[in-house]
Structure 1
Amino acid sequence: MLLDHPAARRLHVLLLLCLAVLLSGCWSSTPASSGSPGAAGSAVDALQRLPVASRVATGYRRAAFGDGWLDLDGDGCSTRQEVLRRDLTGVRLSGLCTVDSGRLADPYTGRVVVFQRGPRTSADVQVDHVVALADAWRTGAAGWSAARRERFANDPLELLAVDGEVNQDKGDGDAAQWLPPLPSARCAYVARQVAVKTAYGLAVRPSERSAMLRVLGTCPGQRLPSARSSAVR
């Protein structure tokens, strides 16, 4: 028989392997990775792909996400200072990193906040975790390593400099519990939440998903922000 020849047997095996690879590609139910959050298309499409949490974790502690603002990229500047430098205009620095003053166009209210570093004034501008850390814990982060939680809490995609009072009003709320006071800011805000949850494999709660769909229903063409557009210097 032809298959008794060594070269023919090798060819037969190779053909079977190729067929197996092709069939596995057809049968796989796992979607291909987009490579980056911003490549996933519209925010509403990405939201539809997020898992819905039937149960949520309890026992949230802020300390589980690290001890305050870190310097994960090793450039000598804390994440807070890097985000302030990214989001404020007219920035004046003290030394290499510390933002002494600047102006913030608050993304949640549209107001301009004048920032001046000091014991009584630094809190006028705060850095918001767009997906609240408590929400992240409830929808997946409870199962992460400590290092992954620290990276999440210091990821520029997850962070925005905002009006301090508004950030306090938000607290730990998800989209079902809190949205920016400025209606025109809500689509970008929810899209960023979806981008963060997509990037980290977090789920959404049913009420949160419904609230997000209502917002994105007003802006079906809203795109996800990319990690590149959110990068700090």
Structure 2
Amino acid sequence: MDVDGDGCDQRSQVLARDLTNVSRKEGRCAVTSGTLQDPYTGETVTSVSKIQIDHVVPLAEMWRSGAANWDTVRRTEAANDLRNLVAVQGKTNQSKGDQTPDEWMPPNAGYTCAYARIYVGTKAAYTLTTTVAERTALDHALSTCT
């Protein structure tokens, strides 16, 4: 969605933010090419069609941890929050699915701190619950921060 009314949907905004050497469709927001240094794997991705936008805190997890009680406006806000959206390699995003940090962490160990910070920040911003297993995994990931 284009939640801020600037004419660009969230996917286009995240791609423009996270990729380098970005080219857009003439007169449009749509990103047609660019280079992603995938934070989850550390690999370089040059095909926009192989890039997906990940919800660091998955939508299903948001639902399980409090969003089920929200109205549509609040759910839309959370689902489109740029702070929780990251451009990543599609196959890695698919392997993550709706798993929580106790079930899945980025294969790139150098990104676990940043990942945990985004996750914790999103959970806090929306007052979502966190399980003991999530908290343990997040504490471990945060201990790698320098």
* TM tier relative to shorter chain: over 0.9
* Residue among 33, 40, 58 paired with 1:132: 58
Partner SS, residue 99 of structure 2: coil
Could you tell me which residue of structure 2 aligns to residue 114 of structure 1?
46
CA distance in 2, matches of 1:199, 1:107: 23
Q: Which residue of structure 2 aligns with residue 226 of structure 1?
A: none
Q: How does 1:184-223 map to 2 (within 5 A)?
A: 184-219=110-145
* More contact order relative to length (CA 8 Å, sep ≥ 6): 1
1:166 aligns with 2:92: yes
Q: 2:112, 2:144 within 8 Å by CA — same for their partners in 1? A: no
Q: TM-score, normalised by structure 1?
A: 0.61
Deviation at 1:109, TM superposition (A): 0.8
Give TM-score, length-normalised by structure 2: 0.95
Give the distance between the partners of 1:127 and 1:107, measured in 2 at CA: 12
> Aligned residue for 1:37?
none
CA distance in 2, matches of 1:160, 1:197: 16
Q: How does 1:46-61 map to 2 (within 5 A)?
A: none
Structure 1 segment 174-189 matched on structure 2, within 5 A: 174-189=100-115
Per-residue deviation, residues 134-169 of structure 1 (Å, max 9, x unmatched): 111111111111111011111100100001110000
Change (3 A) 1:218 1:75: closer
Partner of 1:152: 78
- Distance in structure 1 (CA, Å) of the matches to 2:39 and 2:16: 15
| 1:109-137 alpha-carbon deviations (Å, 9 max, x no partner) | 11110024xxxxx2x10000010011111
2:13 to 72, 82, 98: 82
| 4+ aligned runs moved over 6 Å, structure 1 | none
Number of residue pairs matched?
145
Over the aligned positions, Cα root-mean-square deviation in angstroms equals 1.0
In the aligned structure 1, how far is the partner of 2:117 from the partner of 2:21?
27
Q: Give the equivalent residue in structure 1 for 2:68.
A: 142
Alpha-carbon distance between aligned partners in 1 of 2:4 and 2:133, rounded to the nearest angstrom: 36
